[in-house]
Structure 1
Amino acid sequence: MTSLIDVIFLLLLFFMLSSTFSRFGEVELSTASAGSAGSSDVERSFLQLGEETLRVNGQDVGLTGLPERFADMSPEADRLQVIVSMADDVTAQRLTDLLVVLRGIDRLSISVLGS
């Protein structure tokens, strides 16, 4: 006869091996690199991210105001390339919050400058 603890361990092993682990969220990220001169149908914006500040093309913007800032993108442009530069004191959570907001805007291509 099998003891109860053996049955519990077998059940535990079964559920551990049969469970699947899913990712809760993914943020696509590409690093900026040297490239060609580019085509004329791509607009470019420079975003500076600090611990408490956020600037788009030199103008202060709030994190919640980003969709309105990029809403006036010209309809002729296929996409808007956003180059993100981070200050040294920026946390990973702050960058993730920014990327989640930018990901919700259509026709954006996001590149993050590496240090």
Structure 2
Amino acid sequence: MRFKPRVKRKAVGLTSLIDVIFLLLLFFMLASSFTRYQSLPLASGAQGGGAEVRPAYFRIHTADKMDLNGRPLSREEMPARFADVAAAEGKLVAIWSGPEATVQNVVDVMSAARRSGLDAVIVTGK
């Protein structure tokens, strides 16, 4: 019975693996951005539950069909009506987005509300 001589295996070189990991780390650090482009502060529906002042109710049905407290509203009238809400009813508005509304419609309304001086914006709906 003859035994085959054992072949010694080479140790796995980790130098190339470390190089690849370093290159990946460098790539992801250079390709990513850590700045915030724009943020809009808002409150959820649960956070507005204890408010003393009843919020104005803004509904977005579609990009062209909106109403504030049940009265139809166009995009051109929005800043003036939001300024009235900020002055008279307290600085709180609840925005409801319907199934036909897009995210861009909601962001546009939130931006207009902030520019008009409303302090708190509550987003609710679908």
TM-score interval, smaller chain: 0.5 to 0.7
Deviation, 1:88, is 0.5
Deviation, 1:20, is 4.5
Q: Map of 1:10-21 to 2, 5 A cutoff? A: 17=29, 20-21=33-34
Question: What is the alpha-carbon distance in structure 2 between the residues aligned to residue 63 and residue 90 of structure 1?
Answer: 14
Are 1:72 and 2:84 matched, yes or no? yes
Paired residue type of 1:28 = P
Paired residue type of 1:99 = M
Are 1:26 and 2:31 matched, yes or no? no
Q: Secondary structure at the match of 2:77?
A: helix
Q: Hey, what does 2:75 align to over in structure 1? A: 63
Contact kept in structure 1, 2:91 and 2:119, CA below 8 Å: yes
Q: Secondary structure at the match of 1:111?
A: strand
- Match of residue 60, structure 2, among 35, 44, 49: 49
Q: Show CA shifts across 1:15-37 (max 9, x none).
A: 8636753222112232212733x
Question: What is the alpha-carbon distance in structure 1 between the residues aligned to residue 117 and residue 78 of structure 2?
Answer: 12
Deviation, 1:96, is 1.2
Q: Which structure has the highest strand share of the two?
A: 1
Q: Which structure has the highest helix share of the two?
A: 2
Paired residue type of 2:41 = E
Q: Number of paired residues?
A: 101
**Greater RCO, 1 or 2 (C-alpha within 8 Å, sep 6+):** 1
Q: Hey, what does 1:101 align to over in structure 2? A: 112
What is the identity percentage for the equivalent residue pairs of Structure 1 and Structure 2?
Answer: 23
The TM-score, its normalising length taken from structure 2, stands at 0.62
Q: Output the aligned Cα RMSD.
A: 2.9
